[in-house]
Amino acid sequence: MLRPQDFRDILVVSRQRSLKAAAAALDIDASTMGRRLEAIEARFGSALFRRGAQGIELTDDGTLVATAAEKMEAVELAFERDLVARERQRVNGVVVTSAEWGVSMLTPLLVALGREHPDVQPRLRIENRALDLTRREADIALRIGRPKEKSLVGRRVGVIAYGLYASSSYLAEHGAPRALDDLSRHAFCSFDQTFANTPHVRWQASVTSGARITYQTNSMLSLVEAVEAGAGIATLPRILADRRPALKRVLPDLAAIERDLWLVFHRDLRKSRSLRAAVDALLEKVKPLFSSTSQR
């Protein structure tokens, strides 16, 4: 007979697909993980895993158990979300998450929100990856793009408009580009391969073919700092760059990319008064900042 922990271990292995990665996810060493899997198979009475060159694969029985484990996890998470919502009826913190570009904009808004709604107790968590709201890594997310998960509710906030920016010192030394063809003769800062497939990174690559890349990073704030330091030109969110006195818009008439911005939360938390208050207040405060007209 399998134990509850056995199902959790099998689920981790099915997702990580390697003994070492599964052990790291469970904060144990690989030898302990190996002994656990052997004990699980002994209790089940059949082979659940195959070890191959590509890592660990599930047998048919292993897939059956992993599917059951996923269903058990979904029930457990739904129950936890219900408990969280009930607890927040009695006051608790609401965790809001955004990528780095949202720090300077969200921080004063959340401070004001906490003053106006003391029961909300907002907390800001900055992550460049999309946190899993289903697993309660955060309560509310400010995300680029409409949510695809059926378990999430989204409210469209507006758009993030991007533009090309350089520092005053860079423009004084190298001159300002006057036409699109001039861009290939300038230095550029960009994201590294971590974000190579995001629309604004692809857009910059399309209009700067042949340009020299002088700085790459996986951090928006680092990218802004590099541009301010005179490393080159970069595509930046206007909501962020326009607040930096040292940065100047380059080719302001160039039609840069715009991306939809959404406020997202899990549908199971709609019964929480503090979360509803936070969503309504954030929408009221954030929407005017991201209208198309406010970023022109």
C-alpha 197/C-alpha 144 separation (Å) is 14
Rounded mean pLDDT, 174-188: 93
- Looking only at the bridges linking them, the beta strands covering 94-98 and 122-126 are parallel
pLDDT over 50 (residue 90) = no
- CATH of the structural domain 4-86, one choice from 3.40.1190.20, 1.10.10.10, 3.40.50.2300, 3.40.50.300: 1.10.10.10
Model confidence pLDDT, tens digit, residues 203-227: 999 988 878 999 999 999 999 999 9
Residue 235: name the closest of 260, 262, 254, 263 by CA: 254
Which residue intervals of the chain are DSSP H helices? 4-16, 19-25, 30-44, 60-88, 103-116, 168-174, 199-207, 220-228, 238-241, 273-286
C-alpha 111/C-alpha 100 separation (Å) is 17
Packing angle of the helix pair 30-44, 4-16 (nearest 10 deg): 120
C-alpha 128/C-alpha 220 separation (Å) is 9
pLDDT over 50 (residue 46) = yes
Fold classification of 159-258 is D-Maltodextrin-Binding Protein; domain 2 (3.40.190)
Domain range list for the chain:
4-86, 159-258
| Higher-pLDDT residue of 161, 19 | 161
Per-residue pLDDT, 25: 85
Q: pTM of the entire structure?
A: 0.65
Per-residue pLDDT, 170: 97
According to DSSP, the residues that pair with 195 across neighbouring strands are: none
